[in-house]
Amino acid sequence: MAESAPIVRMSGIVKQFPGARALDGVDFRLLPGEVHALMGENGAGKSTLIKVLTGVHPVDEGEIELAGRPVAFSGPLAAQQAGISTVYQEVNLCGNLSVAENIFVGREPRKFGRIRWREVYRRADELLDRFDLDVDVSAPLSSCSLAVQQMVAIARAVDVEAKVLILDEPTSSLDADEVAQLFRVMRRLKEQGIAILFVSHFLDQIYEVADRITVLRNGRLVGEYLTRELPQVYLVAKMIGRELAELEKLEGKPLARTTEPLIEARDLGRAGAVNPFTLTIREGEVVGLAGLLGSGRTEIARLLFGADHAGGGSVHMGGKKVTLRSPRAAMNHKIAFCSENRREEGLVDELTVRENIVLALQADRGWSRPVSARKADELVRKYVAALNIKGDPDEPVRTLSGGNQQKVLLARWLIMEPRLLILDEPTRGIDVGAKAEIQRLVVELSDGGMAVLFISAELDEVLRLSHKVGVLRDRTLVAQLDNDDALTTDTLMGKIASGAPS
Amino acid sequence: MTATTLPARRFGVPRKYVPVAVTGCLFVAMFVIGGFRYESFATGQVVLNVFIDNAFLLVVAVGMTFVILSGGIDLSVGSVVALTTMVSATLMTGHGWPAWPVILLVLVMGSVLGFAMGAIIHYFEIQPFIVTLAGMFLARGLCYTIGTESISITDPVFTAFAQTRINLGPDLGISPSVLIAAVVVLVAGYVLHYTRLGRSVYAVGGNENSALLMGLPVARTKIAVYTISGFCSALGGILLSFYMLSGYGLHAVGMELDAIAAVVIGGALLTGGSGYLLGTVLGVLVLGLTQTILSFEGTLSSWWTRIFIGLLLLAFILLQRLIGVRRSLRPSGS
Ligand SMILES: Nc1ncnc2c1ncn2[C@@H]1O[C@H](COP(=O)(O)OP(=O)(O)OP(=O)(O)O)[C@@H](O)[C@H]1O
Ligand SMILES: [Mg+2]
């Protein structure tokens, strides 16, 4: 690619937060017509760089130029008006507004100042069609799944006439099909000369779309590289500052088929969410659930956790029938659920990292039996280290980077030492290094006798960890496959697509 | 892909309209029960009288609706109403000013007060509760610096507004204030539904941080809602002056609470982002009709109005809670 003048140039950017130097003299440039990946571990400063560029946070030092002119935006609105359209890391939309409004609010088509609602709905429909998304655009956004919300956020950003498009982990809740859609749109925009800044922890995605990579580590610039000149292993080494030990083959103890069934769902189902299914999870067993978005993966988890009421069927634990009427009831049976939706259901922003970690444990013990400070300290220290959580345990959790917040949520459920741990997309938004840590932890726990229900859109992750894989298609559990050497991602993919029983 | 959208309809009414529909049914039920119990109750004029007696409250509640939809609260409205009556009365009765410049002046005054409170709330990031509480004391205090006695208004324009009746048919009539209130409601409904400002109000109320990151003019929107509320309070104050023909520092004591009650009974969420102007209109009507029924009853003290309104508020907040709980039980992912 011939080098043209950069559309965005940031030089010597310094951003100091109370307690953390998020950016320390970072230089960055973005060329028109390129897809530029910003890479780094959780907490490396990627989101901060984006927020500084778009005026969410003021810079402490350094200069920002847009098309050669120095700029300092007062906020996202100003940045948008100057032609920088951004999707921030967490889905930032208004759940109370309709899908269509979320795409158009602030720039609705008007006639004499009057919003033309019909036009709004029509154009929203058209736009989402381009992403192959079939949703009722007049429904409130809060009724949509996280993936749809993420697509809506992307659609909103893409529809703006912009010179620069910034996508901070836009693919974290999407699966392969939608990612493909997104990449198609991105390539088209790129051809139109739009510069795209893209953040993702999925290395495959980076190598698929990015022309150029900038790597950050601990708030410092490591370097800028052409993607085709930087093999994946080197990229990882640059990100984490050392060679990542070859992803060791995670061999837990092979599961003795004789362990007791821990929980059995018999014909459990809920109309509109998931068709009746029968599933047995044994002690120490890791059961993976594979399937496309909307195939009913999360719904199964929610039924087993009592977050939704089952329409029919029963759940048995230790041979006895139990009713899981509420999450509380499930927790009394030592079932824990780490939900995929950390922002809405998980963390309490204003509490410290430590408090967030011990929250569920404390709630479980009741307020009359406080967790002793020493015990809490010990637990927090152990899991902060185990999960490599970067940040001060005594700072509010909202000051952590997105990936580190995810780890805090995970730690909260791990310290509960449940008998069944349900993990819904636990490694989403988590960097390669920490991902391996979490996977190792899952294996360790199951060796210790804990049963794990593991939901992930990444098939190789499911395969690496599970003893058994449940395949979902169209809200039906179509197959349960033992994870032996014969099972590969390809056969799994085939099952998901066809669902034909073998 | 399939979106996880559960049916949004219950009872054949989309969920978001349920609170408004409940208030509407309540109003109709009260009217029907009143009609059975009391003679000469079930006439159109009874409803129109509710409008006549509460036109000022309606206007104030419209302003409050904007504020509550944006996720804020405005406690200063009652005092601003009182200040408006007081300023108008002294200027006209004491200083001999003509009516129209006075009206213009107090409208500007109310808007400026609202603007100032909005700016403080936004730029200093202080709770709206605190800022408008201060505004409430300030405006009430200003009333007393003007005078502690009630000042009667004799200006011909004001008395004309007070006495004119617009006939809508045989034995049916409304005051000009009702017309003014109706225009305010229509304009406000239009603004909320058909303009960018209105939609930003909903967005800011839904999630202020998201609204900011989506590039909406959050500062402008927040200041605008308090300005609108200030303007509506001043206009409500003028209508109250038409109604009372006096200015007095003790007018409209506690009106902010009536206005908030009307908005909440109308189905708006105090946390912002959800509610309709039609709900507010119905809320004001329910409050007004309660008073009418009690006056028909004759023997009951007016405190029963308060008790009834208290119970209603409780019932509505419980209703919203129930709807809210359902909502949070919905699946959120794949
Ligand atoms: N508002 C804030 N207050 C204090 N510290 C903050 C704040 N926002 C971010 N930080 C800190 O700045 C550092 C960089 O965070 P940032 O969100 O930029 O990371 P990131 O590279 O986007 O990570 P991730 O991959 O997890 O999203 C972290 O150490 C974080 O704790
Ligand atoms: Mg980030």
What count of CB pairs under 8 Å joins A to B?
A: 157
Provide CB contacts within 8 A for A283, sequence distance 6+. A259, A260, A261, A262, A419, A449, A450, A451
Cβ–Cβ of A79/B210 closer than 8 Å? Answer: no
For residue A92, the chain B residue with the least C-alpha distance is B210
Provide CB contacts within 8 A for A397, sequence distance 6+. A347, A348, A349, A351, A352, A353, A356, A405, A408
Residues of chain A with pLDDT under 70: 1-3, 242-258, 341-345, 499-502
pLDDT band at B75 (very low <50, low <70, confident <90, very high): very high
Distance B125 CA to ligand 1 centre (A): 23
ipTM, two decimals: 0.84
- Amino acid sitting at position A72: A
Distance A375 CA to ligand 2 centre (A): 31
Quick one: pLDDT at residue A501?
45
CA–CA separation, B250 vs B257, rounded Å?
15
CA–CA separation, A70 vs A63, rounded Å?
7
| Residue % of chain B over a pLDDT of 90 | 59
pLDDT band at B190 (very low <50, low <70, confident <90, very high): very high
- Which of A338-352, A451-465, B100-114, B241-255 is predicted least confidently? A338-352
Provide CB contacts within 8 A for A143, sequence distance 6+. B4, B5, B6, B8, B330
Quick one: pLDDT at residue B23?
86
Ligand with minimal distance to A353 CA: 1
Q: Is A402 in the pocket of ligand 1 (CB under 6 A)?
A: yes
Distances (CA, A) of A20 to A14, A321, A400, A502: 11, 51, 10, 54
Q: Which helix (H) or strand (E) holds B244?
A: helix B218-244
Quick one: pLDDT at residue B330?
43
Instruction: Judge whether B6 lies within some domain.
Output: no
The verdict on A144 touching B (C-beta cutoff 8 Å) is yes
Quick one: pLDDT at residue A253?
52
How many Å from the N-terminal Cα to the C-terminal Cα in chain A?
A: 48
CA distance, residue A141 to nearest chain B CA (Å): 10
Helix axes B128-146, B77-89, angle to 10 degrees: 20
Tell me what the mean pLDDT of segment B266-276 comes to.
90
Contact A363, A373 (CB under 8 A): no
Quick one: pLDDT at residue A7?
93
Quick one: pLDDT at residue A3?
64
Phi-psi region of B171 (alpha: psi -120 to 50; beta: other; left: phi over 0): left
CATH at residue B274 = 1.10.3470
Looking at domain A8-240, its CATH architecture is 3-Layer(aba) Sandwich (3.40)
Residue A270, SS3? strand
pLDDT band at B145 (very low <50, low <70, confident <90, very high): very high
Give yes or no for residue B4 having a pLDDT over 70.
Answer: no
Summarised one tens digit per residue, pLDDT across range B166-180 is: 888 877 889 999 999
Q: Is A22 in the pocket of ligand 1 (CB under 6 A)?
A: yes
Cβ–Cβ of A298/B210 closer than 8 Å? Answer: no
pLDDT band at B157 (very low <50, low <70, confident <90, very high): very high
Q: Residue A215 forms beta bridges with which residues?
A: A39, A223
- Closest residue by Cα to atom 19, ligand 1, is A43
Give B-chain residues touching A76 at CB under 8 angstroms: 212-215
Quick one: pLDDT at residue A251?
56
Facing A145 at nearest CB: one of B196, B202, B332: B332
Q: Is A214 in the pocket of ligand 1 (CB under 6 A)?
A: no
Output DSSP code: residue A477: E
Domain count of the fold of chain B: 1
The verdict on B173 touching A (C-beta cutoff 8 Å) is no
Per the prediction, chain B carries an average pLDDT of: 88
The verdict on B320 touching A (C-beta cutoff 8 Å) is no
HEC letters along A281-312: EECCCEEEEEECCCCCHHHHHHHHCCCCCCCE
Q: Which of A57, A239, A400, A435 to mutate to test the pocket of ligand 1 (most atoms within 8 A of CB)?
A: A400
Same fold, A8-240 and A243-334+418-502: yes
pLDDT band at B333 (very low <50, low <70, confident <90, very high): very low
Q: Is A393 in the pocket of ligand 1 (CB under 6 A)?
A: no
Facing B8 at nearest CB: one of A94, A139, A147: A139
Task: Report the 10 Å Cβ neighbour count for B299.
Answer: 6
The parent domain of residue B70 ranges over: 16-34+41-326
What global pTM score does this model have? 0.83
Give yes or no for residue B38 having a pLDDT over 90.
Answer: no
Quick one: pLDDT at residue A343?
62
Contact B155, B32 (CB under 8 A): no
Question: Domain spans of chain A?
Answer: 8-240, 243-334+418-502, 344-417
The matching CATH number, chosen from 3.40.50.300, 3.20.20.10, 3.30.420.340, 3.30.420.40, for A243-334+418-502 is 3.40.50.300
Quick one: pLDDT at residue B82?
96
- Closest residue by Cα to atom 10, ligand 1, is A399
The verdict on A476 touching B (C-beta cutoff 8 Å) is no
CA distance, residue B259 to nearest chain A CA (Å): 23
Provide CB contacts within 8 A for A438, sequence distance 6+. A387, A407, A410, A426, A427, A430
Instruction: Judge whether B64 lies within some domain.
Output: yes
